[in-house]
Structure formats: structure tokens, C-alpha cells
A and B are shown apart, each in its own frame.
Chain A
């Protein structure tokens, strides 16, 4: 009987360890994830009014990117959109639809939508 009891104890550990690893393991950021990450880094470099870029949806295949920006006066958003398109293409993301989302007093609104060539 004691063998069964300790077998159950070991089983608990094996099952929970497997579950923990399965739910904590982060798949490596490759392919599209890597491209989006590189694009986000390029866009935020030297631009403190850009928080970052990410895929707008969790869909497997997507051609939309959301760029989160800080509500800043004096920024030419159209110029930023053109630059973002160039950077996206340089990072292997051509023909993307970019949504520029502004954070202002906890309210989020889309300030510009740009279809990259």
C-alpha cells in the first residue's frame, strides 16, 4: 500500500511539473515575431514618443501592425507613418497596414491609418 501512496506522490510531481513547463515555456521569437520585434526596436530608437509596435491581433497570418504612441504636440504623424513604412519594409514587413494608436488620459484612439506600399 505504501508503494501506491508514494507512486501517487511522484505522479503529482510529474504531472504538475509538466503542466508548469507547458504553461511557462516561451516559444522563441522567430520569423514574424522577430521581424515585428526588430521593427519595433528600430521605430522606438531615438523617438521617445513611440512606445512600440506589435501585431494588432493574435491571428496566425496578419498584415496589420499597431504602433502605440505618446500624445505629443508638434509631431508630424504623417512623416512618422512614412518612416514607419520604410522601416517595416527594411525589416521584412512590406505592404503592412499601420494603425497609430495614441494613449491619452487612459483613452486610446487611432490617430492615423497608413497602408504601406
Chain B
């Protein structure tokens, strides 16, 4: 397995998969899970403690933001040319993706915890992938 494939698997695909499992097992009433398999969640969300609720509600956003940041950082390194403002651009995309939900409140739910999770995910990806801490 090449270094690029390994990075792509662990930092892009795996977080996406974990995020999907959170929806599949704990939030099955979401329409995109319902169309695949209508079933009950493993636990009733209202019975979950605050930490479980945090994982269920913001964990998937964290995984998505981490995966996107990593995908963009890996692409940035792979394409060769150094773009100095690339992390700023990525950060803007992450913030925008959460903030835009505030303006479409009828069908989307803006949540500060999701925003915080996304920012933390970006920071982690920046440190691990962009700053090459893992090398």
C-alpha cells in the first residue's frame, strides 16, 4: 500500500465510514438511512447521557470535517504547487458549510457544537496532515 493510499484510507475514508456508522446505528430516522433500511436505533437518543448525545449529534460532523480537511490537504500536497493560503481556504470552506445552515433553518439545523466540532476537526487535520506531524 503506497503512502498516499494509506493516508487517504486512514484520514479520508475511515472518518467518513465512522461518520456513516454513527448515522446508521444511532440516527436511523434520518431520511438517507431510512431509504436504505428503516429500523430502530441502538439506543433511544433521549435516554443517552450528555457525552453519548455529543458523540451522536456532533461526532458525525467532526468526522465529515476531518475527512474533508484531510482530503483537501492531501490533494494540496499531491498536486505539487505550494499554495500558501490553502489552509485558510480550507478553514473558510469548513466554517461556511456549518454557518450556511443558519440561513436555511427550515430544512437545516445550525448548532454551535457542530461548528466547534468542525473547527476542532480542521485543526487536527491541519496538524497531522498539513504540518506533517505524523512523518
Contacts of A60 in B (CB 8 A): 38
Contacts of A28 in B (CB 8 A): 107
Q: Is the CB of B31 within 8 A of A58?
A: no
Say whether A95 faces chain B, with CB atoms less than 8 Å apart.
no
Q: Is the CB of B75 within 8 A of A19?
A: no
The CA-CA distance from A78 to B23 in the complex, in Å, is 38
The CA-CA distance from A26 to B29 in the complex, in Å, is 10
Chain A interface helix/strand/loop/mixed: mixed
- Bin the interface of chain B by size: 20 to 34
Q: Is the CB of A26 within 8 A of B44?
A: no
The CA-CA distance from A19 to B47 in the complex, in Å, is 28
Say whether B108 faces chain A, with CB atoms less than 8 Å apart.
yes
Contact of B46 among A9, A25, A54 (CB under 8 A): A54
Chain B interface helix/strand/loop/mixed: helix
Count of chain A residues near B, Cβ 8 A = 23
Using a CB-CB cutoff of 8 Å, which residues 8-28 of chain A contact chain B? Answer: 8-9, 12, 16, 19-20, 22-28
Known: A9-B75, A108-B47. A26 touches B108 (CB 8 A): yes
A5, A58, A60, A68 pick with most chain B CB within 10 angstroms: A58
A8, A9, A23, A68 pick with most chain B CB within 10 angstroms: A23
Contact surface of B with A, Cβ cutoff 8 Å:
16, 19, 23, 28-32, 38, 40-41, 44, 46-47, 60, 64, 67-68, 71-72, 75, 78-79, 97, 101, 107-109
